[in-house]
Amino acid sequence: MNDILKFVTVDKEKKFGFFFNGTDFRDLLTVEEINRPIASNISNRLNDYISFNGADLISTRRDPLYFKIKYNTVKQNKNAIRNLFANLLVTEELSELYFYDNPDVIYYAKLDGTTEIEEGYNYTKGELAFIIPSACGYKREPVELSQANAKSIMCENKGTDKTYPIFDFTCHGKVTMIGVTSKYGSFQFGDSKEFAPIKQMKIHKEQTSSLFKSGKGTLTILDRVMKTSDGWDIVDASKLVADSDFDGKVSNTTTSSPKTSNGTVTVSKNARYWDNGVRIANWVKGKSFKFDKTKAVNKSKSKKAYRLIDKEGYLGWLLEEDIQGQSQSTVTGVYPVWDSSSLQTFSTLPLHRKVTNNATDWEMTFKFNYKASPGQFGFMTFGITDKYQNMIGGMRIETINGDGRMAMVCLCGSDGKLHTGYNKADWTGAVTITKTGAMVTYYMYNQLNGKSYTYRLMNAEIDDVVASDVYVLCTKKNNYDFIQACNPMHMTITGYDADIYVENKSKEEFSMINVAIPRFNFNDGDTVRIDMNTGFCYHNGHRCLMPIAFGSKPTPIYPGVEEIAITTEGEFGSFVDCDVSYREVFKC
C-alpha cells in the first residue's frame, strides 16, 4: 500500500472523511459530500377497514440504511487507485464504518451496488454506496456498571433505541437461581424453589428441656388446617379495613363423602386428573362407571378415591372431588357470620395471630374457597404485617360491583398495588406469597380451572421489615348479601431467616418430610453470565441450556433510566455481585 500511496495526492488538512475496513480514507481521497439520512425507509403494514375509511396499523419496521459518499482525487495513477479501492472497499463480511465528524458512533456496513469511477485528465471522482443492514449505529465505548450484593441495578440508556445488556454475576455462597426482571420481561437461570423437584428426606429432631437461640435459618412458623378458628383471635384491624366494625363469629364447615348409587359414580365434566396425576381422557368425563374398590387418600378436597372399571377393565382411581354433584358444602374451612347490621359501611371478621421468630424473609401459602353471585358485595383480605399493622405482603379478593365477578389485588408496603383483573370463575385453590428482601412474588393457582398467575412487586420500604402478625379478614358491605362462599382452609408460613432456638438436653426423634431440591447449584466463587443479545447463559465460561427457566426471554433496556431487579435463591446468606455492560444503540 505504501508504494501506491506515493501516487495519491489529497488535502491533508481536510478532516471531513471516513474510516472503513481498517483504513483511514482521508489519506486516499477527498470527500465532497456525504448523504446520511436521518432515518432509513420506514415500512408500515396496514389492514384496511372494510366498512369505513382508514386502516389498523399491524406492524412497523425500518429497512436497511444506505449512506452515499461523493469523492475526488487529483493527479492519481488511475490504475493503481482503482486496484487499491477494489482491495480496500470490496469485502465479504460487514466491516466497521465511522465518520470523523462523529467518531464515537460506528456502523457495521458493506459496499453496495456498482461503484463507478469517472476519470478525467488529471482527476478521478466517483460515488460510494454503503448498506447498513441493522439500520442503526453503536456507541464505540460500552457502558459498564457494577453492584455488590445486588438486589437491583440502575441502568441509563442515552441512545435512541433499545439495547440488550450482558449480565455477569459472581456468586457468594451456594446459589440455585438467578433472575433478572424489568417491566419489559424476566429471565431466570436455575431452579426456583417452588418448581424444584421434590425429594423425601429423613429429618433428625431433638426434644430438650431448655431453649436458647442458636442463630438464623429456615423454619416452619405456622402450618395449620383451618377447620375451626382455634388459635386465632379477633382484634381491631382498622388500619387494614377502614369504616368497619370488627366483630362476628366463625361457622365451621364439614366435609361429607359423595353419594353413590348401586356401586356407580358419574365423572364430573370438570375432572382433570386421576389420583396418580395422569390426565383424565375427555371421553370419560360426564359418563357413569362402576367401581369395585375404594381407598383412603389425603388430598385438599378428597379423603377417598374410587377405582373405576368398564368392560375393557381397570380405568383409574377417581378422587371424590371429581364426582359429579359435589357442591361447595363439602369444602372444609371456616365461614364468617354476623348477628346484625352495623352503623358502619362494613362489618369485618378479623382473624389474627402472631408470627414468631423475627423473620424478614418468608413465604406464606393460603388455601381458600371463594364464590360470589350477582347482588353480593364483600371482600377477603389476608397477609402478613409489621407490628404497626402495615401490610408487608398480602392480597385482597374483592367483589364490589355486584355482578358476581371477583378481582385480585396484590398488596406490597404502603403504596405497591397491582390489580390482576376480574375473573368470573369460582375459586378453590391457593395463593403463595414469597417475600425476599424488597421483592414480593405472588403465585396464584385455581384448582377449578387449572389456571395460574405469577406477579412480582418491588418496594424498598419493606426490605428489612420483621414479620409480626398475620391476618385473615372477611368483610361484608352492610345492607347487602355477603359472598356465597368465603372459606379460609389452610395456612402455612415459613421463615427463611427466622430465629432458631434449640435445647441443651435432647431426645432423638426422626421423621420424613418432602424437601424441594434444586437440580443446579452455583457454588461460592462461580461466575454466571446471562447474555441478553443471544439469550445464552454461561456457567464458569461454559454455555448451558438446561437451567434456563421456561418462559424466559431477553430483557432489553429502552432509552432512559430503568431499574433492573436481581432475584436470587440459595442457601441462607448467599448473594451475588453483578457487573452489567451494554452498548448504546442509535436509530438510523
Which domains occur in the chain, in start order? 2-135 (2.40.30.200), 143-195+519-587 (2.60.120.860), 216-248+333-500 (2.60.120.200), 264-330 (2.30.30)
- Please name the residues in contact with 18: beta carbons below 8 A apart, sequence gap of 6 or more: 25, 26, 31, 34, 69, 97, 98, 99, 100
DSSP 354-416: E--S--SSEEEEEEEEEE--TTB-EEEEEEEE-TTS-EEEEEEEEE-SSSS-EEEEEEETTTE
Closest CA to 167 of 584, 585, 578, 583: 578
Tens-level pLDDT at each residue, the chain (588 residues):
444 444 444 454 455 799 999 999 988 888 999 999 988 888 899 999 888 898 999 998 889 999 999 998 876 677 777 888 888 899 999 999 999 999 999 999 999 988 888 887 777 888 999 999 999 999 999 999 999 999 999 999 999 999 999 999 999 999 988 999 998 889 999 887 776 666 666 666 655 555 556 678 888 888 888 877 788 888 888 888 887 777 776 765 554 556 666 788 888 887 878 888 788 888 888 888 989 889 888 775 778 899 998 877 788 899 888 888 654 444 456 777 766 666 677 888 888 999 988 999 999 999 988 888 788 888 889 999 999 989 999 988 888 777 777 888 888 876 556 666 656 667 888 999 999 999 999 998 888 777 888 888 888 889 999 999 999 988 888 887 778 788 888 899 999 988 877 655 555 666 666 666 777 889 999 999 999 998 899 999 999 877 788 888 888 999 999 999 999 988 888 999 999 999 999 988
pTM of full prediction above 0.85: no
Query: What is d(CA 16, CA 33) in angstroms, rounded to the nearest whole number?
Result: 9
Burial of 372 (0-12, 13-18, 19+ CB in 10 A): buried
Would you call 4 helix, strand, or coil by DSSP? helix
Would you call 298 helix, strand, or coil by DSSP? coil
Q: Using alpha carbons, list the distances in angstroms from residue 520 to 186, 343, 404.
A: 19, 58, 45
Cβ atoms < 10 Å from Cβ of 106: 17
What was the pLDDT predicted at 475? 86
What was the pLDDT predicted at 431? 93
Query: What is d(CA 518, CA 199) in angstroms, rounded to the nearest whole number?
Result: 10
Closest CA to 355 of 224, 482, 453: 224
Instruction: Pull the grid cell for residue 69.
Output: 459518499
What was the pLDDT predicted at 9? 47
